[in-house]
Structure 1
Amino acid sequence: MVTGKKTAQSLSDSQWFGIERYYAAFKGMAHDTFTASIESLVKEKYMKALEEHVYILTEKGEQVLRSESGRLSSLNHLNGLKYASIETSCWQVITLYVQALSNSLYGHSNYSPVIRDFSVIQKVKSVFPKTESERKIQAEKLYQELSQVLLEHDSVSAQLFVKKLSGYNRIGSTFEQLSRIEGASQEEIVLRFRAVLHSLIHKIAYEKINFPMLHSLIGSFTEAPALTKSASLTYRMLTNNKSLEEIMNVRNLKISTLEDHLVEIAREVHDFPITPYINDKEFLKVKHFYTKTNETKLRPFKDAFPHLSYFQIRLVLAKEGGKHATGSST
């Protein structure tokens, strides 16, 4: 989960334990490194084991968590489950655009691009202003929009984000360099940076009218549903008018797997209709029960609506943002 392996199980677990924001928090982390971190926390008495692979914070750990919550308040903006899959593409477009615009304004064309990915370069070229006057206008707009996002973060996190940007006669700092400068762990630096980036992506996705400049750069990434690769293929087949039976046969899927896909799609695709699987009347009943009880476990729903399947209940919870919506039917 912390490395960002996007499977039905990891999606379910991240929601089940209410830690969606930390999904993919440490991409590339080895399992041994994770285990060593847990052992270190136990040794320092910040955590204790209840049983094998099950830990809780000690009072000492709780105190540290409370004392650090203010300093690391920016991490509340993390949303790894939603944005981990697009954060790299978004950042690459932004940082290359800023570098190109900055060098252009200084009349400097002989520089080494910080990003060499062809698709990113093409994206930046497609929106890059043609004239000097347009470039000045866009630079001012970009400054205003970025400032609006950064002002919602603590000064340390905001400055880290700015220091990662490249410009005229300047190459953005690496995480390792920033770690040394700030005297903080590289993990903290990465999380602070990603929190600002996720906040920026969220603004563009939900407040695009207020961020037209940034939306022109990365809006296309935010508009694509954040689905697993397998669910994405199912969604594509559904949009091509393939029936569930056809999808199951062509892809050799079990019904439980296909149901997991449909629940995932219902959660991520706002206008995905679920009426083919549950009628409006039953949908409203389950929705009302969820609103009234704020229940997040599936069993109470099944007890209240025994005639409905777990799949139908999960679909409604997915549409309503139910915490366990992507969990298995079993």
Structure 2
Amino acid sequence: MVTGKKTAQSLSDSQWFGIERYYASFKGMAHETFIDTIQSLIKEKYMKAVEDHVYILTEKGEEVLACESDRLSYLKHLNGLKYASIETSCWQVITLYVQALSNSLYGNFNYSPVVRDFSVIQKVKSVFPKSDSERKVQAGKLYSEVSRILFEHDKVSADLFVKKLSGYNRIGSTFEQISLVEGISLQETVLRFRAVLHSLIQKVTSEKIDLPMLYSLIGSYTEAPALTNSASRTYKMLKINKSIEEIMSVRNLKSSTLEDHLVEIAREVSDFPIIPYIDEQEFLKVKHFYRKTNETKLRPFKDAFPHLSYFQIRLVLAKEGGKHATGSST
């Protein structure tokens, strides 16, 4: 889950335990490193094991966490489950655009781009202003929009984000360089940066009219559903009117796997219709039960609606934002 392996199980677990924001927090972390960190926390008596692979904070750990709550407040801006799949593309477009715009304003067109990905370069070219006057106007708008978002973050996180940007006669700092200068760990440096970036993406998604410059840069990424690769393939086939039976046959999928895909799609694609899979009246009844009880476990729904399958219940919860909608019916 923390490394960002996007499977039905990892998606389900991150929602089940209410830790969606920490999804993909440490991409590339080795399993041994994760275990060593846990053992270190146990040794320092911040955590203790209650059974195999199950740990809780000790009183000492709770006290430290409470003392550090203000400093760790930046973590509330993380939204790994939603944005981990697009954060790199969004950042690359933003940082290349800022670098190109900054250099052009100083009349410098001979610089080494910080991003060489062809699709990113084409994206920046497609929205880049043609005249000097346009560039000045766009620079002012972009500065205003980014500043507005950065002011909602603590100074350390905001400064860190700016230091990552490249411009005229300046290459953005590495995470290692920032970590050394700020006197914070490399892990915290990365998490602070990602928290600001996720916040920016979220703002562009929800306030695109008020952030036209940023939306022109990354809007196309934010509008794409954040699906696993396999679910994305299923969704594309559904959009060209392939039947469930055809998809299962062509892709050699089990019915349980296909159901997982449909639940994932229902959660991520707002206009995906689920009525073909559940009667509308039944959908409304389950929806009412969920809103009335705020129940998040599947069993009470099954007891209340024994004639419905777990799959149908999960579909409704997916549409309603239920925590346990994703993952296996079993």
Short-chain TM bin: over 0.9
Percent identity (aligned): 82
Aligned to 1:27: 27
The amino acid across from 2:230 in the alignment is S
What residue in structure 1 maps to residue 152 of structure 2? Answer: 152
The equivalent of 1:53 in structure 2 is 53
Give the drift of 1:86.
0.3
Deviations 1:285-307 (A, max 9, x none): 11111111111000000001101
Unaligned runs of 5+ in 1: none
Matched residue SS, 2:209:
helix
CA offset digits 1:250-287 (Å, max 9, x no partner):
11111000000000000000000000011211111111
TM-score by length of 2: 0.99
Listed as ranges, the matches of 1:277-292 within 5 Å are: 277-292=277-292
Per-residue CA distance 1:200-222 (angstroms, 9 max, x = gap): 00111111011100000010000
Q: How many residues are matched? A: 330
Q: Deviation of residue 41 (structure 1)?
A: 0.5
2:84 aligns with 84
Q: Equivalents in 1 of 2:55, 2:74: separation in Å?
A: 25
Q: Which residue of 2 aligns with 1:164?
A: 164
User: Which residue does the alignment assign to 2:226?
Assistant: 226
Please give the alpha-carbon distance, in whole angstroms, between the structure 2 residues aligned to 1:64 and 1:279.
51
Once residues 76 and 130 of structure 2 are traced to their aligned partners in structure 1, the CA distance between those partners, rounded to angstroms, is 39
Q: Counterpart in 2 of 1:178?
A: 178
In structure 2, the residue matched to 1:293 is: 293
Q: Distance in 2 between matches of 1:57 and 1:198?
A: 28
Aligned-CA RMSD value? 0.6
Give the residue type in structure 2 aligned to 1:9. Q
Q: Secondary structure at the match of 2:303?
A: helix
- Structure 2 match to 1:259: 259
The one-letter code sitting in structure 2 at the alignment partner of 1:209 is I
Residues in 2 aligned to 1:202 and 1:56: alpha-carbon distance in whole angstroms: 31
Q: Aligned letter for 2:312?
A: Q
2:128 matched to 1:136? no
SS of aligned partner of 1:324: coil
C-alpha displacement of 1:70:
1.0
For the residues of structure 1 that align with 2:303 and 2:261, how far apart are their CA atoms? 24
| d(CA) in 2 for partners of 1:87, 1:65 | 28
Match of 1:68 in 2: 68
Alpha-carbon separation, structure 2, partners of 1:149 and 1:60: 35
Q: What letter corresponds to residue 291 of structure 1 in structure 2?
A: R
* 1:179 alignment partner, SS class: helix
CA distance in 1, matches of 2:128, 2:327: 43
SS of 2:4's partner is coil
**Structure 1 runs of 4+ off > 3 angstroms?**
none
SS at match of 1:316: helix
Gaps in structure 2 of 5+ consecutive residues: none
Residues 168-207 of structure 1 mapped to structure 2, 5 A cutoff? 168-207=168-207
1:36: which partner in 2? 36
